[in-house]
């Protein structure tokens, strides 16, 4: 069974559907033969020689890829000339925008082929490794901040120098999905003051955890902003009016606005009006990540950078393609995991009983299967009346057994024997020793093993007390007591040194680099 990788023919597209590394895994781990069109990875810095070293066949003519491959991997939806080369039983995998491309799905079905849309992968835990939409959105969010920084006339971070003070940039991110969170992290890393807004209140904690301020609408409504699919939804007119008033107020304060709002299957909502752009200070920047679907900003020109009233408007439609090397690697990994999910070469089957494959398979053997049944993946917290009562915690009952009784009898007999010696000093020291053993046993030994590391400071403190006591005993004239004191000092020192070592290793886990 052969997998084909044609060169992307969409103008300006630099990504490739498989890198030499992912193509090698397709062959070695999944058993596929891989054929790559010559020059397919050149724009992403993957020359043909690397594919040949990975065991791929390099075809000089693209028709060889389409005519011999059983599975064709692409990035962009196929152009008309590519659809014509599809044949009966062939499987096409790539971004297909099925909600907007009904005609394309019908054309693929007319060829008797099957098609899998990567943007239709459901957002459930099992499918995260296949989620190419999130992979590309992550890159787009990062690149959007880089593009904004290239046009912005100041530092992102604030600086105080001998020549003067430079205030930090203020960034507003609208939409706290994957792209929005990536943009927040990048802007914060560059030192900017970041604010974020989303109609889904459940993402507030994620925004705050990244050091940004989450903007809340002062709006008396219980309207939920998320769908069962994990995306934002269209809100009521009252909500949108309050939202627009908030954006206008923020436009007068911030330096950079990044918009990421998209609703699957619909044109991008208009969130930044011409009035808001004109309210921004000259030199400010608006980055519209939704420009490919019409844009969130009224004055966005898709694919171009424009200037409106002194404000730069970035309307690129290829943010992920501008980091083609990394984008191709991540997208290639998504496709590898998808083909692994399908069964590899040996068990290749589009199982429509599998919720993941059913969701992203939009055409199967000449039959359009879009749209799929809904899959509920909402991150919103359940309502109070839907929360199941908590199960009672299991209680472990401690029983007093025969062994415990024997130890108690032995301890009483030992104490009576010591008392019969009538040596006041020895009896006092031994009593302290026994009490220390009992306290140490109860404090340390009965603690759950999982809690030993958090209690390391307590054990170190107790060990410190033991060392002090041991040092006192070492100085006495009684040889047995001095020997026991020295042993106590040695053992406690080992415990303290081990505690510091474990604590140091724990702290190292939380350090960067």
Among residues 107, 114, 134, 250, which one is catalytic? 134
Angle at 381 between CA 379 and CA 386, to 5 degrees: 130
Q: What is the pLDDT, as a whole number, of residue 379?
A: 46
Measured distance CA(493)–CA(428) in Å, rounded: 25
Active site residue 128: yes
DSSP H/E element including 364: strand 361-364
pLDDT digits (tens, 9 = 90+) for 156-199: 999 988 888 999 999 999 999 999 999 999 999 999 999 999 98
Q: What is the pLDDT, as a whole number, of residue 415?
A: 75
Among residues 231, 322, 351, 378, which one is catalytic? 231
Nearest-Å Rg of the Cα atoms of the chain is 33
Residue 494's pLDDT band (cuts 50, 70, 90): confident
pLDDT digits (tens, 9 = 90+) for 442-483: 665 565 555 555 555 556 666 777 777 777 777 777 778 788
Active site residue 100: no
Pairing of the two strands 71-73 and 57-59? unpaired
Top pLDDT among 72 and 501 is at 72
Active site residue 231: yes
Q: Summarize the confidence of residues 81-110 as an average pLDDT.
A: 95
Among residues 25, 123, 195, 200, which one is catalytic? 123
Active site residue 221: no
> Per the omega criterion (within 30 degrees of 0), is the bond before 371 cis?
yes
CA distances in angstroms from 217 to 167, 207, 240, 242, 248, listed in the order given: 27, 15, 10, 7, 13
pLDDT digits (tens, 9 = 90+) for 26-48: 999 999 999 999 999 999 999 99
Q: Say if residue 20's pLDDT is above 80.
A: yes
| DSSP class per residue in 401-416 | -HHHHHHHHHHHHHHH
Q: In terms of pTM, does the model score above 0.85?
A: no
Is residue 296 within 8 Å of 277, Cβ to Cβ? Answer: no
Phi-psi region of 423 (alpha: psi -120 to 50; beta: other; left: phi over 0): beta
Among residues 45, 63, 87, 128, which one is catalytic? 128
Q: Summarize the confidence of residues 330-356 as an average pLDDT.
A: 95
Tell me the pLDDT of the chain averaged across its residues.
86
What sign results for the dihedral spanned by CA atoms 437, 438, 439, 443?
positive
pLDDT digits (tens, 9 = 90+) for 206-242: 999 999 999 988 655 555 555 544 455 556 788 888 9
Top pLDDT among 92 and 440 is at 92
Q: Summarize the confidence of residues 253-276 as an average pLDDT.
A: 90
Q: Which of 152-156, 273-277, 289-293, 492-496 has the lowest mean pLDDT?
A: 492-496
Active site residue 33: no
Q: What is the pLDDT, as a whole number, of residue 420?
A: 80
Among residues 48, 90, 131, 327, which one is catalytic? 131
Q: Say if residue 258's pLDDT is above 90.
A: yes
């Amino acid at each position: 069974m052969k997998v084909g990788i044609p060169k992307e023919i969409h103008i300006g597209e630099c990504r490739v559907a498989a890198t030499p590394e992912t193509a090698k895994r397709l062959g070695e781990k999944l058993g596929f033969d891989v054929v790559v069109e010559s020059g397919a990875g050149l724009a992403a810095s993957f020359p043909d020689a690397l594919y040949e070293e990975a065991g791929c066949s390099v075809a000089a003519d693209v028709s060889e890829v389409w005519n011999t491959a059983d599975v064709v991997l692409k990035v962009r939806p196929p152009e008309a000339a590519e659809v014509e080369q599809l044949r009966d039983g062939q499987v096409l995998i790539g971004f297909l925008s099925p909600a907007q491309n009904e005609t394309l799905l019908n054309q693929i079905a007319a060829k008797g082929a099957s098609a899998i849309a990567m943007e239709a992968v459901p957002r459930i835990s099992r499918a995260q490794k296949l989620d190419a939409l999130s992979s590309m959105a992550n890159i787009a969010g990062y690149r959007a901040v880089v593009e904004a920084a290239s046009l912005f006339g100041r530092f992102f971070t604030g600086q105080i120098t001998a020549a003067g003070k430079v205030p930090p940039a203020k960034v507003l991110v609208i939409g706290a999905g994957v792209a929005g969170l990536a943009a927040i992290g990048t802007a914060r890393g560059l030192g900017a003051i970041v604010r974020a807004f989303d109609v889904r209140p459940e993402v507030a904690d994620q925004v705050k955890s990244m050091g940004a301020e989450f903007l809340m609408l002062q709006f008396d409504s219980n309207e939920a902003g998320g769908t069962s699919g994990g995306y934002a939804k269209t809100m009521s007119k009252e909500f949108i009016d309050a939202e627009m008033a908030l954006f206008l107020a923020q436009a007068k304060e911030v330096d950079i606005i990044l918009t990421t709002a998209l609703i699957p299957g619909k044109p991008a909502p208009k969130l930044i009006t011409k009035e808001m752009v004109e309210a921004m200070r000259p030199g400010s920047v608006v980055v519209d990540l939704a420009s490919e679907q019409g844009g969130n900003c009224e004055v966005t020109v898709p694919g171009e950078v424009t200037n409106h009233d002194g404000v730069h408007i970035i309307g690129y439609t290829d943010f992920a393609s501008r980091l083609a090397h990394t984008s191709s690697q991540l997208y290639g990994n998504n496709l590898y995991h998808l083909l692994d999910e399908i069964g590899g070469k040996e068990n290749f089957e589009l199982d429509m009983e599998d919720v993941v494959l059913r969701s992203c398979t939009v055409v199967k053997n000449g039959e359009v299967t879009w749209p799929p049944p809904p899959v509920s993946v909402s991150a919103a917290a359940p309502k109070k009346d839907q929360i199941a009562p908590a199960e009672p915690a299991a209680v472990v009952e401690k029983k007093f057994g025969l062994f415990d009784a024997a130890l108690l009898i032995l301890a009483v007999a030992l104490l009576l024997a010591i008392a019969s010696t009538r040596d006041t000093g020895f009896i006092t020291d031994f009593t302290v020793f026994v009490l220390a053993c009992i306290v140490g046993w109860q404090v340390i030994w009965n603690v759950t093993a999982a809690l030993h590391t958090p209690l390391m400071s307590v054990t170190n403190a107790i060990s410190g007390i033991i060392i002090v006591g041991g040092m006192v005993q070492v100085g006495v004239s009684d040889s047995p007591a001095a020997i026991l004191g020295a042993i106590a000092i040695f053992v406690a020192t080992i415990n303290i040194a081990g505690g510091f070592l474990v604590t140091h290793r724990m702290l190292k886990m939380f350090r960067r680099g």
